[in-house]
Amino acid sequence: MFIVSSYTLAVGLCFITMLCWGSWGNTQKLAAKTWRYELFYWDYVIGIVLFSLVMALTLGSIGDQGRSFIPDLMQISAGNFGSAFLGGIIFNASNILLSAAISLAGMAVAFPVGVGLALVLGVFINYFGAPAGDPVTLFIGVGLIVFALIFNGIAYGKLTRGKDKSIAKKGLYIALSAGFLMSFFYRFVAAAVDLNNFESPTPGMATPYTAVFIFSLGMLFSNFFFNTYLMRKPFVGAPVTYKAYFSGGFSTHAVGILGGIIWGLGTSLSYIATGEAGAAISYALGQGATMVAAFWGVFIWKEFKGASKSVNLLLFLMFLLFTSGLALIIVAGNQ
């Protein structure tokens, strides 16, 4: 299988993860013109499952290093299979909430608040689960990101003055709930992988490719429960049915599947990079997606159009602090 052999390459893959995790939401925004997010989300999950399988059968099965996908899948222990599968369930619960927050509050709010919170909590969870890098520099970087989240929340509060407060607050609270849940998923998947020896993994443990595929199965399985419930009891609007889903055109379904492929690529690269960068660093850099998504939301989708100078200043400080925090996280991983 393909294995990363340098910290520099690992960081490069994490940056691609950041771009992917921060950009898949654009497909939801595109689909939202004619498609409810609950329906979009089915195609999104299907895209993740299909892409993780393709990655496992290609990069996860080539070369002489490590175990190829099929033998690895057949030998994984029940406990490690369950850990990766549970990671998929936890992520799916959080990501459905994130999709709801995007539909209510926009990408520029849902990602910095939800995914930003997941970054902060997740760094602690992943670091203490598998320590790697300088903790002082790492946590200073996380501290800067916390202030970035605060500024984003204040900016959103100023922007929503005079608007429907109930919807605005609901979007913010849902994003916070999504972030809390999202902070836990990465560690469950990483726990199933032998992070210290990709070349000859411990028997019973998984390679990153196998773990991500099992993770995607957990997403698909749980989606029949989580998304079905939200289709019947949506946060906003009338209930939607499976009949509506199957009435969608090819291009509509393709947009959702593309969103899943984009996210799946980022996730696969993130776990591939953990061998050199460590779980905490890989996770934190990937969750820099918050700034990528905020960029799309602010500058492309114009979600803060017409904002006052004070709101624009808060957004500038948010970008500055988040970028500085990510830079410190990179430095921490190389110490």
Q: How far apart are CA 230 and CA 239, in angstroms?
A: 8
Closest among 66, 71, 26 to 44, alpha carbons compared: 26
Q: Are 229 and 72 in contact (CB under 8 A)?
A: no
Name, in order, each residue with C-beta under 8 angstroms of 52's C-beta and a sequence gap of 6 or more: 209, 212, 213, 215, 216, 264, 267, 268
Q: Are 239 and 231 in contact (CB under 8 A)?
A: yes
Q: What is the mean pLDDT of the chain?
A: 89
Structure token pair of residue 81: 């299979």
The pLDDT score that the predictor gives to residue 120 is: 83
Over residues 128-144, the mean pLDDT reads 83
Over residues 237-265, the mean pLDDT reads 95
Band of residue 164 on the pLDDT scale cut at 50, 70, 90: low
The pLDDT score that the predictor gives to residue 241 is: 94
Q: What is the DSSP letter of 300?
A: I
Q: How far apart are CA 43 and CA 280, in angstroms?
A: 30
Q: Is 239 helix (H, G, I), strand (E, B) or coil?
A: coil
Q: What's the pLDDT tens digit per position in 282-317?
A: 887 887 787 888 889 888 888 788 788 888 898 899
Handedness of CA 36, 42, 44, 47 (dihedral sign): negative
* Radius of gyration of the chain from its Cα atoms, rounded to whole angstroms: 19
Q: How far apart are CA 167 and CA 178, in angstroms?
A: 16
